[in-house]
Amino acid sequence: MHVKAEIFPCPGCGSAMRYAPGTDNLHCDYCGSDKPIDVPPLPPEMKRELGACLSRVQSCHPGAIEKVLDCPGCGADVSLEPLTIGEPCPYCGTPLLSEPGNPLPPSAVLPFAVTHKKAQGIFKRWIGNLWFAPNALKRVVDTGKSLEGYYLPFWIFDADTRSYYEGERGDAYYVTVQRMRVMNGREVPVQEQERRIRWTPVSGSTSRTFRDLPIVATDRLPPKLLARLQPWASGQMQCFDLRWLSGFTSHEYSRPLESGYEEARGIMQSVIRNDVLRSIGGDEQRIYGIDTRYDGERFAVPLFPIWSSTFRYGGRNYTIAVNAVSGEIAGERPYSYWKIFFLILTLTAIAGAAAWFYRHYGGD
């Protein structure tokens, strides 16, 4: 459906402004003007009560409406993929935006802090440190156009937990035992120390508070790759405002809330289990049962900033992503089998030459 494109005109020349990473300003690429983005502090109600939303989970499922925007820069009709809030016009580059369409609009935005130039440097250093990287990959970096900016949705969860456990604590001790060992062709008795465990029944409780536990809420980029970009500076989130998104491709959540919550619960349970092991103490532990009570469960769906590049090599796509706040980088990488082949060939030649030299001159 056709919707009006949201742009933010420059007060100086009327051109569409875009957000300048690392600042609180919109910036005009044509006349250089800046305009502050004034937003109120994040309200406490930014996070919703989880139980209430899960009870009517169908009403929170993502939509699938394709929007068509009229670009005010060149007049083209720009089709946005479903669950896309905005992107630069593919014809003239004008930053185009639309209002979110999902039942749960973005709760907050973590603005870009790392500029494109800085991200490009991080990317280049990462590539330079890769062994056997193909030259084609390094050429991608040298073009300077390899990274694109995205705002991607994450679920973040809060919970206050109290866990009651039963198990056993194992304390190691050693006893001297006599064993027969073969020495000099004869069996002889020897004294050895043998490790044993003294088990003691234990029970107790442990508490753990989770805040802003992030779970990827989109499949636009590989979720396992995005998970490696943690931690996210959630304390720097700002109130959601389309101005933060101007100039970047921005998406809404495509992963249902209950799926994200299920993954979050699994992570919480793993952390709680480690807490219980530490609480039991000793040298070894046995856990017979953990009963966890969850209180204060709340969630939000903010947008986090990412610089990313996807390139094709050897018939396969590879993706690299940079956390646009911390600068943390993670990626998939190909190998140049020609470089590996020539390295093996060179090492083989060196080994052969060394063997020849030894045979002819080693005895002198």
CB 119 within 8 A of CB 147: yes
Question: 185 exposed, middle or buried (CB, 10 Å; 0-12, 13-18, 19+)?
Answer: exposed
DSSP bridge pairs for 158? 298
For residue 21, give the nearest of 110, 87, 115, 99 by alpha carbon. 115
Does pLDDT of 144 surpass 80?
no
DSSP bridge pairs for 36? 25
pLDDT at 141: 57
Residue 333 has phi, psi (to 5 degrees) of -140, 145
DSSP bridge pairs for 15? none
pLDDT at 101: 87
What's the pLDDT tens digit per position in 317-363? 888 899 999 999 998 765 555 555 555 667 677 776 777 677 776 65
Q: What does pLDDT average to over the chain?
A: 88
Does pLDDT of 95 surpass 70?
yes
pLDDT at 342: 55
Give residue 48's pLDDT band: very low, low, confident or very high (50, 70, 90): very high
pTM across the whole model: 0.85
CB 233 within 8 A of CB 326: yes
Mean pLDDT of 267-290: 97
Question: CA 304 to CA 101: how far, in whole Å?
Answer: 18
pLDDT at 89: 94
Question: CA 21 to CA 23: how far, in whole Å?
Answer: 6
- Could you give the percent of the chain with pLDDT greater than 90? 63
Give residue 260's pLDDT band: very low, low, confident or very high (50, 70, 90): very high
In the chain, where does DSSP find H-type helix?
Answer: 50-55, 116-128, 135-142, 223-227, 242-245, 257-280, 337-361
Q: CA-CA distances (angstroms) from residue 253 to 60, 87, 219, 288?
A: 10, 16, 9, 38
What's the pLDDT tens digit per position in 160-203? 999 999 999 999 999 999 888 888 888 888 899 999 999 999 99
Expressed in angstroms, the distance from the first to the final Cα of the chain is 88
CB 18 within 8 A of CB 29: yes
In the block, residue with structure tokens 């039942």: 103
Give residue 65's pLDDT band: very low, low, confident or very high (50, 70, 90): confident
DSSP code at position 60: G
In the block, residue with structure tokens 């993670």: 330
3-state secondary structure of 20: coil
